[in-house]
């Protein structure tokens, strides 16, 4: 279910009306059901994976902290997971209904699926019981470590299979073929579940935080399930830490007038970015990166700039709408973007772009690797590993790996130069400041091209064209829609004023009311104009 659809408007209206009418505990139950409906709208079969992820980390947190599970703590997730396995993992719902009505027809549910489930359930249950009995008799330190490692292995194993199995299998076959060894790998027709990288990382951080003694586990399974599946930020973030979001699930919430006003404004801003701008430039970007004809320098340059605009307005739009919807429910989500294209250095860019992923990688990857607590080469190694893995997180393709490597090189060079200067930053003057903006902007744009490219061959082609000016300066791509052109102008002015006023998200409250009203009116007008644009799926849904 997409935010920018009539279905979501109806869905949100019904859910919000029920939410305001229900008491606290019933609110949580209703939000959990709504979140599963929201995710299942895409493909309800993959709810099983989310429930599996939820159950594993719920159990892991309790075993890490308390050493064992009570009967209720074990049975509740187990029954919920069993129901998910029976009714969500590839079953034919219409066939189930016909069987319940007494029909004796043969269905895929009866002939193919049920025997496998009936065999798998006792096997999986027996394995889990043996692992559990082994863990609870270990000394505390060993139990805690073994449990958190097991949780990480299971979660990354599921993520790795669905997202990377075919990629690594194909890469292995290609590598062996290059040295004269021919092998035949088995490939699977795997559908990538929407948002699996986001909710897996969010759930996994919960068990890690408990292991680090940074928080206590919750004993309420369905509160934890709501933390993992909360629908506004479920599919494309921000990736929340349990220490921020989970207490808002376990404690009664209040909704202030300011939250409602701010939430509606963020929803409006997000819709403007997505409908008017991102969808308005999507066709132009696709016409260039999807072209099979001659590409000119103007095509490569304009296509790269337009994609930088598209991915920012598309992704930040999702975060804005997610935060706005959450505010309507009295829930605060973290800020995921702070005007990233105003960054002066590569490191600052990552402090402003996809902040929830940047902080996640810093807390759960860079820091455990040792961070910058050693030699320069040790720090560079950790930075490179973090950024390459961050690139691979975005997708199973070599352009993402190359993009992560490129960003790792930029941040590492900045770190090395910083140390070489005696840990002194470059003094910002009227001369150096514009050069820093322009230089970092060019570096960021080239990274955007790496991210969007459809193949390594296209990367080499675009790089050669941009470096040499080959092909001339005639633009042959599709022009952006009128709503996008107007929207870009409005957004640039809006963000320039915001940046000059310190970057506060509420900067507009200090502006004269007629000025704010005019800006909002322009955004709403351009959003309605953009309804004629071809709707495009949010880019980060694929991750």
- Residues with a catalytic annotation lie at 394
Length of the chain: 543
Distance between CA atoms of residues 181 and 168, nearest Å: 16
Is 283 in contact with 247 (CB distance < 8 Å)? no
Q: Please state at what angle helix 257-271 crosses helix 513-529, rounded to 10 degrees.
A: 50
Cα end-to-end span (Å), the chain: 16
Distance between CA atoms of residues 519 and 491, nearest Å: 9
How is 461-530 classified by DSSP, letter by letter?
A: HHHHHHHHTTT-S---SPPPPHHHHHHHHHHHHHHHHHHHTTS-TTGGGGS-HHHHHHHHHHHHHHHHHG
Query: Which token pair is 195?
Result: 């948002």
Query: Which token pair is 95?
Result: 């066939």
Distance between CA atoms of residues 108 and 451, nearest Å: 41
Look at residues 181, 309, 265 and name the one whose alpha carbon lies nearest to residue 516.
265
Distance between CA atoms of residues 263 and 257, nearest Å: 10
Look at residues 484, 466, 63, 450 and name the one whose alpha carbon lies nearest to residue 284.
484
The three-class DSSP label of residue 48 is helix
Distance between CA atoms of residues 504 and 528, nearest Å: 27
Biggest CA pair distance of the chain: 81
Identify the residue whose tokens are 């990377």.
Answer: 164
Distance between CA atoms of residues 56 and 155, nearest Å: 8
Look at residues 344, 347, 389 and name the one whose alpha carbon lies nearest to residue 365.
389
Q: Please state at what angle helix 456-468 crosses helix 432-452, rounded to 10 degrees.
A: 150
Q: How many CA atoms lie within 13 A of 295 on its CB side?
A: 25
- Helix, strand, coil percent values for the chain (each to nearest 5): 75, 0, 25
Is 339 in contact with 352 (CB distance < 8 Å)? yes
Distance between CA atoms of residues 45 and 249, nearest Å: 26
From the number of C-beta atoms within 10 Å of its C-beta (0-12, 13-18, 19+), residue 431 rates as exposed
Distance between CA atoms of residues 471 and 299, nearest Å: 9
DSSP type of residue 435: H
From the number of C-beta atoms within 10 Å of its C-beta (0-12, 13-18, 19+), residue 135 rates as buried
């Amino acid at each position: 279910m997409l935010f920018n659809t009539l279905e979501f408007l109806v869905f949100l209206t019904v859910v919000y009306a029920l939410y305001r009418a229900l008491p606290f505990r019933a609110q949580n139950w209703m939000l959990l059901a709504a979140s599963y409906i929201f995710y299942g709208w895409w493909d309800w079969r993959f709810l099983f994976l989310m429930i599996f992820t939820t159950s594993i980390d719920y159990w892991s947190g309790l075993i890490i902290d308390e050493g064992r599970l009570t009967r209720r703590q074990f049975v509740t997730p187990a029954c919920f997971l069993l129901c998910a396995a029976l009714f969500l993992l590839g079953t034919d719902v219409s066939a189930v209904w016909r069987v319940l009505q007494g029909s004796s027809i043969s269905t895929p549910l009866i002939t193919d699926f049920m025997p496998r489930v009936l065999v798998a359930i006792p096997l999986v249950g027996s394995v889990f019981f043996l692992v559990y009995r082994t863990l609870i008799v270990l000394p505390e330190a060993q139990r805690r470590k073994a449990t958190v490692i097991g949780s990480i292995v299971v979660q990354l194993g599921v993520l790795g299979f669905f997202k990377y199995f075919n990629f690594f299998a194909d890469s292995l076959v290609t590598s062996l073929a290059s040295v004269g060894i021919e092998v035949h790998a088995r490939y699977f027709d795997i559908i990538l579940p929407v948002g699996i990288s986001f909710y897996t990382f969010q759930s996994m951080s919960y068990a890690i935080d408990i292991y680090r003694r940074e928080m206590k586990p919750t004993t309420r399974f369905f509160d934890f399930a709501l933390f993992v599946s909360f629908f506004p930020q479920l599919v494309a973030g921000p990736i929340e830490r349990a220490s921020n979001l989970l207490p808002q699930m376990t404690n009664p919430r209040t909704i202030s007038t300011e939250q409602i006003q701010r939430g509606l404004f963020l929803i409006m801003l997000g819709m403007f970015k997505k409908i008017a701008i991102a969808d308005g430039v999507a066709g132009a970007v696709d016409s260039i990166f999807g072209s099979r004809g001659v590409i000119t320098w103007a095509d490569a340059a304009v296509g790269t700039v337009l994609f930088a605009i598209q991915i920012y307005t598309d992704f930040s739009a999702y975060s804005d709408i997610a935060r706005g919807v959450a505010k309507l429910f009295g829930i605060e989500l973290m800020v995921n973007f702070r005007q990233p294209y105003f960054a002066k250095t590569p490191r600052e860019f990552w402090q402003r772009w996809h902040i929830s992923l940047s902080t996640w990688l810093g807390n759960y990857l860079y820091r455990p690797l040792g961070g910058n607590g050693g030699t320069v080469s040790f720090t560079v190694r950790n930075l490179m590993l973090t950024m390459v893995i961050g690139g691979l997180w975005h997708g199973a393709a070599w352009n993402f790996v190359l993009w992560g490597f490129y960003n790792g090189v930029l941040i590492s060079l900045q770190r090395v130069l910083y140390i070489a200067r005696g840990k002194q930053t470059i003094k910002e003057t009227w001369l150096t400041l514009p050069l820093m903006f322009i230089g970092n902007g060019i570096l960021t744009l080239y990274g955007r091209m790496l991210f969007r490219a459809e193949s390594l061959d296209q990367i080499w082609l675009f790089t050669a064209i941009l470096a040499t000016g080959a092909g001339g300066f005639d633009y042959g791509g599709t022009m952006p829609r009128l709503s996008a052109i107007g929207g870009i102008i409005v957004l640039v002015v809006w963000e320039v004023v915001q940046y000059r006023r310190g970057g506060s998200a509420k900067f507009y409250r200090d502006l004269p009311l007629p000025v704010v009203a005019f800006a909002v009116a322009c955004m709403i007008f351009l959003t309605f104009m953009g309804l004629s644009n071809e709707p495009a799926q949010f880019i980060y849904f694929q991750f």
